[in-house]
Amino acid sequence: MSRCCHECGGNLENPFYEISAYVKTEDGKAAQSDMSCSLCSSDFRKIKLTPEMPEGIGFVIDGVTGSRGGFTGNVQLSGAYERHGQYMFLSLEDAKIHLPKSAKDLLKDPNWVAQDEMGTWKKADWVK
């Protein structure tokens, strides 16, 4: 069984990308949806990213490298994968244009979480 791109449905090969929604307030408070989906390289190349997190609702994307299986190079669900930790950001407007399925599905019913002072992820009740 292979991981699939949420946007186009194609199989994923290394590297691939994980996208999730975020919200950032004027005072710098930020929360992230606890749900994410995978993107293939060709869908990733369609978007314009920024290194800074803009205010409002947007999307955070990180590269991922996973273990390979078989002769196809596809990433297996049972294998391990590692995030790169090089977060980039995508505006809501650009996501609606270039990644409409992912943008719609990630904002359908997000469960917003934020890190507390200790770095623990907790429900962000302040997000409306």
Give the H or E element holding residue 93.
helix 92-98
- The domain limits of the chain are 16-114
The pLDDT value given to residue 81? 55
Q: C-alpha distances in angstroms, 3 versus 8, 38, 57, 97, 101?
A: 12, 8, 27, 24, 17
pLDDT tens digits along 60-100: 998 877 654 444 444 444 455 556 668 899 999 999 999 99
The pLDDT value given to residue 25? 92
Average of per-residue pLDDT across 100-121: 92
pLDDT tens digits along 2-60: 678 999 999 888 788 999 999 999 998 999 999 999 999 899 998 989 999 999 999 99
> What pTM was estimated for this model as a whole?
0.81
The pLDDT value given to residue 78? 44
- In whole angstroms, what is the distance from residue 79 CA to residue 119 CA? 27
The pLDDT value given to residue 2? 62
